[in-house]
Amino acid sequence: MTGKSGRMEELQNEDLAPCFYQLNEKELNLINKKKTQIIYERGESLCKQGAFAHHVLYVIEGLVKVYMQTGGKRNINLSIAKQGDFLGFSSVFGNEFYTCSASSLRESRVCMIDKHAL
């Protein structure tokens, strides 16, 4: 990954997904300690299908193409993730590998959260 990495002190209210609103202070502090914010430039890969899934990705801002690789030169576009969307959430429920790939369509700010923190 060649994204611009930067640690945040804590997630800001405008950056939080609605599911984070119900966390108590201790739980939110754990999430803040186990995450990293990265800015991906247009075209950069966020995750690759089949790679070990150590993080859940949360799109703070930007657009991300989610697709499946077919083994040939063609890919199957599944969706466009936007602000507030999660990627790789199946890793929290035991899936050890990313089930699809994702790349940024424009500059995107993404929070990578350790799946064990969730």
What does the pLDDT look like over 43-90, one tens digit per residue?
Answer: 999 999 998 888 889 999 999 999 998 877 888 899 999 998 999 877
C-alpha distances in angstroms, 17 versus 22, 41, 48? 10, 22, 24
Tell me: pLDDT of 9 over 90. no
Domain map (residue ranges) of the chain = 4-114
Note the CATH number of domain 4-114. 2.60.120.10
pTM reported for the whole predicted model: 0.76
Query: Which tokens hold the place of 6?
Result: 């930067």
What is the band of 6 on the pLDDT scale with cuts at 50, 70, 90?
very low
